[in-house]
Amino acid sequence: MAIDVTNANISVAISKEGKIISYQEALNSRDQSKFLPHFVNQSLENAKIEFDDLNYLIVTSGPGGFTGLRVGLAFAHSLSVVKPQIKIYAVSNFEVYAFRASQQIKIFHQNIVILQAFRKAFAIKIFSKSIDEPFKIIYETQLQEFFQSLISQNPNFIRIVSGNAMKKSWDIICDIKSLIFLPRFPFIRASYVCKLAEKKILQKAKFLNLDPIYCKLPNL
């Protein structure tokens, strides 16, 4: 099972042997703490299974909305107490967006995820074989310069860009021709969290712990 409530939505999915067998979603839900348990129970009912049948629970840990992060991670912590046999892990929102983008564009050098951090700032993380750096907070006024500097280092690289800040940043970066934009992923779906988790399990890759990932203002 995978859940995402890191922004204004609720998304719950259950997969078995690589196939999604149940999916529940509500956009712009105002009371995530109230409706998340209902969505989880409905997903279990639709899949015709019980909590004890679950092997894993994967939850997104951010960056995202403060309230949503607390709701999702609190649910995961509670379940770890009452159902200790279920393996409970987290993945970052960056990972989910990067994974989904890589399913659409197979060949690239850098997979760039841009998320909304603050009103006029973005959280950006670059995935590649050679780069494994923490995400950066980039202000709106710095965004174009950031990408131009990145491109100048390796002008021939294929770079794909996705994330929930695509709409907000579009007017700033849309004219940078060496970037491949994937604007059709405005929010996370738990079905892709399931698929990402399955890949990580098969590859024996590390998951994150249940600590929230928050965006912090950089020192000026």
Could you tell me the pLDDT band of residue 31, with boundaries at 50, 70 and 90? Answer: confident
In this prediction the pTM is: 0.94
pLDDT value of residue 197: 98
Q: Write out the two tokens for 208.
A: 């994150």
Is the model's pLDDT at 8 over the cut of 90? no
Pick from 5-9, 107-111, 134-138, 145-149: least confident: 5-9
Proportion of the chain above pLDDT 70, given as a percent: 98
Return the pLDDT at 20: 97
Q: pLDDT tens digit string along 185-218? A: 788 999 999 999 999 999 999 999 999 999 976 5
CATH of domain 2-92+187-203: 3.30.420.40
Lookup result for tokens 């995961």: 76
Dihedral sign computed on CA atoms, order 115, 139, 176, 126: negative
Residues 6+ apart with CB under 8 A from 186: 164, 166, 167
- For the chain, the structural domain boundaries read 2-92+187-203, 94-181
Q: What is the pLDDT of residue 161?
A: 97
* Torsion on CA atoms 194, 197, 202, 203, rounded to nearest 10: 150
More confident residue, 11 or 129: 11
Angle at 179 between CA 176 and CA 185, to 5 degrees: 115
- Domain 94-181 is found in CATH 3.40.50.300: no
Closest by CA to 72, choosing from 193, 215, 198, 199, is 193
**Tokens at residue 213, please?**
């990932």
**Averaged pLDDT score across all residues of the chain:** 93
The conformation of residue 141, written as its DSSP 8-state character, comes to G
Tokens 């590859």 locate to: 203
What lies within 8 Å, CB to CB, of 200 at 6+ separation is 91, 206, 207
Kindly tell me if the per-residue pLDDT of 219 is higher than 60. no
End-to-end CA distance of the chain: 41
| pLDDT tens per residue, range 117-144 | 988 999 999 999 877 789 999 999 999 9
Tell me the three state secondary structure of residue 156. coil
CB neighbourhood size of 132 (10 A): 9
Are the C-beta atoms of residues 63 and 93 closer than 8 Å to each other? yes
Contact 88, 31 (CB under 8 A): no
The DSSP call for residue 52 is: G
pLDDT tens-digit readout, 71-120: 999 999 999 999 999 999 999 999 999 999 999 999 999 999 999 998 89
Q: Is the dihedral of CA 181, 65, 76, 135 positive or negative?
A: positive
